[in-house]
Amino acid sequence: MAEVKKEKQHISLNVCKEKFDIYVLPEEEEFYRRAEKLIANTYNKYSQVFRGRRSEQSIVLLTLVEIGVKYEMAAGKNDTSPYDEILRKLTSEIENALK
């Protein structure tokens, strides 16, 4: 069966005072827009606190660090490995009981 290629669409993102023109799949646009908003809100928070006391690059890096930490914390909450071991044990017990 031939693979159907999805058409990407052009969107513009404004990130830390810069405009980026990129092409994304239509079903991914919402995630890019949400990321744009998250970056803007986090950047604005640090910019208000550190404007005039820190360089622009430092404010961008603080923004990056905060978003990275949030990502890692969320990834840690989605760790299913403890449940996988419990399910393996239960499956094994059920299979043994059915023999």
The continuous run of DSSP H or E covering 27 comes out as none
Residue 64: half-sphere exposure toward Cβ, Cα within 13 Å: 8
**Encoded tokens for 6:** 């999805």
Query: Tens of pLDDT along the chain (99 residues)?
Result: 556 678 999 999 999 889 999 999 999 999 999 999 999 999 999 999 999 999 999 999 999 999 999 999 988 777 777 777 887 887 887 878 887
In one-letter notation, the amino acid at residue 93 is E
Looking at residue 3, what is its pLDDT?
64
Distance separating alpha carbons of residues 28 and 5, to the nearest angstrom:
15
User: Tens of pLDDT along 26-40?
Assistant: 999 999 999 999 999
Beta bridge partners of 20: 13
Single pTM value for the model: 0.71
What's 53's DSSP letter? Answer: T
